[in-house]
Amino acid sequence: MSKQIKYAPEPMQFEVIADFLPPPEELRLRMRKVKITVEVGAPTVEAFRKKAGRRADGYRRMMGELLDVYAARQLAAGKR
């Protein structure tokens, strides 16, 4: 029942591709997430849903990432 596979001696062509991965220092570490409840206007939610479209991570993650970037910039600027 277990036949041995015979491969034809075909020439193989390989192509070297450029390194597309970022250097280790540019990799972003995952931060600890905290669940919160927030009330947001319906037009705001609709805008994020439209922007997210069919992305797998969805509009909630987009909103969280936007808040993360905003907070990081405010802290870097020395604002509280």
pLDDT tens profile 13-32? 888 888 888 777 777 777 78
Question: What type of residue is 15?
Answer: E
Instruction: Note the helical H segments in 1-80.
Output: 42-52, 58-76
Q: What are phi and psi of 8, to 5 degrees?
A: -80, 145
Average pLDDT estimate for 65-70: 89
Is the pLDDT score of 44 beyond 90? yes
pTM beyond 0.95, yes or no: no
Q: Residue 55 and residue 77: Cα distance in Å, rounded? A: 31
Q: Residue 30 and residue 70: Cα distance in Å, rounded? A: 17
Higher-scoring residue by pLDDT: 78, 70? 70
Question: What is the residue-averaged pLDDT of the chain?
Answer: 85
Instruction: Please count the other Cβ atoms lying within 10 Å of the Cβ belonging to residue 17.
Output: 6
